[in-house]
Amino acid sequence: MLIESKGDRIFNFINYVILILVTLVVLYPLVFVLSASLSDPQTVLRGEMLLWPKGINLNSYEKIFQNKDIISGFTNTLIYTTLGTAINLVMTILAAYPLSRRDFVGRNAIMALLVFTMFFSGGLIPTYLLIKNLGMLNTLWVMIIPNAVSIWNIIIMRTFFQQSIPHELQEAATIDGCSNIQILTRIMLPLSMPIIAVTILFYA
């Protein structure tokens, strides 16, 4: 068992104190806002509430849930996040897997073209005209389709497929008669849960 020296104990103690202070500084505004939302507005305005709720009042929450615009906004956010993340993840996987295959002819050229697009933007007006011509104005898809895939995330997932999963596994699966789809769904994806989780966090 390692024995900490006196210097190590002092160092750890100082670190813990700093972390506790930072945590308190970060948490206090959040707790204050939550307590203020549950307290009587006049009590908050008079500065009588410091941390814990005083004069419990739920009128603020009643007004929020009675406001259809707020409920609609939360619903839209949930739909955009869920559907958009699902589409983004599928598109990223379907792009990254073939680009990671050694036997995929032209993968380096395609990868170079994808990276090239990262240096330029289509511009606001051309993007608007494109969306308008596609008939996506004022629809759900205008928030999802234009951002359906991220080149950066494709690069990250492609690198994971190449460096973290042995190519011999794919060769063995091919010898056993697996198709590319079967290799992807039965071998690559089960072994890629860490990068899939990271990609979901990036997109969401």
Per the domain annotation, does 1 fall within a domain? no
The predicted-structure confidence for 161-202, as pLDDT tens digits, reads as follows 988 888 888 888 888 888 888 988 898 999 999 999 999 998
Integer CA distances (angstroms), 87 to 39, 141, 202, in order: 42, 11, 13
DSSP state of 148: S
| Sign of the C-alpha dihedral computed for residues 44, 46, 52 and 58 taken in this order | negative
Average pLDDT of the chain, as a whole number: 87
The predicted-structure confidence for 23-56, as pLDDT tens digits, reads as follows 999 999 999 888 888 888 888 788 788 788 888 8
Same domain, yes or no, for 73 and 118?
A: yes
State both tokens at 203: 């997109």
Between CA 200 and CA 149 the distance in angstroms is: 12
Q: Total domain count for the chain?
A: 2
Same domain, yes or no, for 118 and 191?
A: yes
The predicted-structure confidence for 69-127, as pLDDT tens digits, reads as follows 888 888 889 999 999 999 999 999 999 999 998 888 888 899 999 888 888 877 888 88
Confidence check: pLDDT of 68 > 60: yes
Same domain, yes or no, for 98 and 157?
A: yes
Q: Domain of 93? A: 68-203
- The CATH number given to whatever domain includes residue 89 is 1.10.3720.10
CB atoms within 10 A of CB 114: 17
